Amino acid sequence: MTSELAAQAARLIEARGLQLDEAQARMLACLGDWLQARLRPPAWLRRPAAGAYLWGGVGRGKSLLLDALFQVAPLAKRRLHVHALLQDVQRRLLAHAGQADPLARVADELAAEARLLFVDEFHVHDIGDAILLGRLLKPLFERDCILLLSSNYAPPALCPNPLYHSRFKPFAEVLQRRCLVLQMEAGADYRCLSAQPWGRYLQQPASQLRRQLGHLPSVAHLPLQRRSLTLRGMDSRTLWLDFSALCQQPLASSDYLQLTERFAHFVIGELPALAQCSLDVQQRLINFVDIAYDSGRELWLQSEHDLATLCANVAHGDFVRTRSRLAQLRVDGPERLAC
């Protein structure tokens, strides 16, 4: 029998004009049963898992299901992308510098603000970030926080770098022990079937883009937290810059978050074939696209390559998610990207 929370979440999804497939409907029912038991555990049953960890391929509706469940959950709650969580935790740690057990104080604050915490696209590549998130899990669970986590990776694969895997393994085991770990079945990438583009892909010379955006005030530099960003132009809504400025200098996710808080529309020009770029440069593009997409920002990309060539043979493991999102751009050129 489907729980009331799952039924409410399903109605919310249907109100958006979306139809769940069988695997998604089963997963929503399972998650709804778990959360309802977590909120009102019957005294005669074993206590439910402290959190839910939903993982699987890109575009299968993980965020859709968890977000719908999050919206109908009747308790204090907070939703954020993993990059935003890291920035928030680091900011709070800085505020508690010099105090005893600052991470416990951060966990106290997070638990006081929201009992339900939904972290979308839970993944880590930097070992410092991996250890920080891993160390945060135990105190959050101890404070009876309910975690909803979506990821493209099973917990043991969250930190795949063999140099660091053993250091993160204890935290992956905490996730497996304390969370209901569920895998979305393989199926269609619904992002690729979406009729709602979130931006444009312009296959054209850079000179043509300059003519199109000639109305934007010319601005040479934009100060960020620790550096200055070289621009082509900007106004109160739009930021226009080259790929080299955005991804080929050491910008952090916190810089991209700062930009998405200020601007609603991004125009990124002169993208090269991404397979020619280093893994660090690819990672920055992945981070920026994640943050812009999650923030609901409009993105225009310009390149002389078609989108398929731009994305071909990229070695970075996370790029499959980025490719899925770029496939949602409206292509002003010969062809749409096949997923």
Domain containing residue 49: CATH number: 3.40.50.300
Residue 314 in tokens: 């990229």
149 and 279: one domain? no
Torsion-angle region of 252 (φ positive above 0: left; ψ -120 to 50: alpha; else: beta): beta
The pLDDT, as a whole number, for residue 308 is: 93
Q: What element of type H or E holds 78?
A: strand 77-81
**pLDDT classification of 188: cutoffs 50, 70, 90:** low
Q: What is the pLDDT of residue 339?
A: 46
Q: Which residues contact 279 (CB under 8 A, 6 or more apart)?
A: 315, 316
- Same domain, residue pair 153 and 287: no
8 and 155 together in one domain: yes
**At 270, which CATH number?**
3.40.50
Q: Is a pLDDT exceeding 60 seen at residue 259?
A: yes
Is the residue at 338 inside a domain?
no
User: Phi and psi (nearest 5°) for 161?
Assistant: -60, 120
The pLDDT value given to residue 194: 54
Task: Band the pLDDT of 187: cuts 50, 70, 90.
Answer: low
Range of the domain at 225: 199-332
Q: Count the domains in the chain.
A: 2
Q: Is the pLDDT of residue 143 over 90?
A: yes
Q: Which residue has the higher pLDDT, 43 or 100?
A: 100
Instruction: Based on the fold, state whether residues 242 and 130 are members of the same structural domain.
Output: no
Amino acid identity for residue 136 in this structure: L
Q: Does the residue 145 lie in any domain? A: yes
Together in a domain, 97 and 140: yes
Residue 74: per-residue pLDDT: 95
> pLDDT, tens digit, for every residue of 23-64?
899 999 999 999 999 998 666 567 889 999 999 988 788 999
Amino acid at 37: A
Residues 6+ apart with CB under 8 A from 85: 119, 133
Q: Is residue 74 part of a domain?
A: yes
**Strand, helix or coil for residue 239:** strand
Model confidence pLDDT, tens digit, residues 67-89: 999 999 999 999 999 989 999 99
Residue 21 scores a pLDDT above 70 = yes
Tokens read off for 336: 């749409």
Percent of the chain with pLDDT over 90: 64
Q: What is the mean pLDDT of residues 299-314?
A: 95
**What are the residues whose beta carbons fall under 8 Å from the beta carbon of 310, sequence distance 6 or more?**
271, 273, 274, 303, 326
Same-domain pairing of 73 and 103:
yes
Mean pLDDT taken over the chain: 89
- Beta strands at 298-303 and 265-269: parallel, antiparallel or unpaired: parallel
**Claim to verify: residue 79 and residue 138 sit in the same structural domain:** yes
The DSSP output letter for 218 is: P
State the pLDDT at residue 44: 59
| Residue 71 φ/ψ region, left for φ over 0, alpha for ψ in the -120 to 50 degree band, beta for the rest | alpha
**Do 36 and 75 fall into the same domain?**
yes
Distance CA 303, CA 306 (A): 7
The reply to whether 318 and 262 lie within a common domain is yes
Q: Is residue 191 part of a domain?
A: no
Q: Is 194 a member of any domain? A: no
**For the segment 189-246, what is each residue's pLDDT rounded down to a tens digit?**
555 555 567 899 999 999 999 999 988 888 889 998 778 899 999 999 999 999 999 9
Residues 110 and 157 in one domain: yes
On whether both 240 and 303 belong to a single domain, the answer is yes
Last residue of a domain, one of 114, 149, 183: 183
Domain identity same for 25 and 163: yes
Structural domain includes residue 188: no
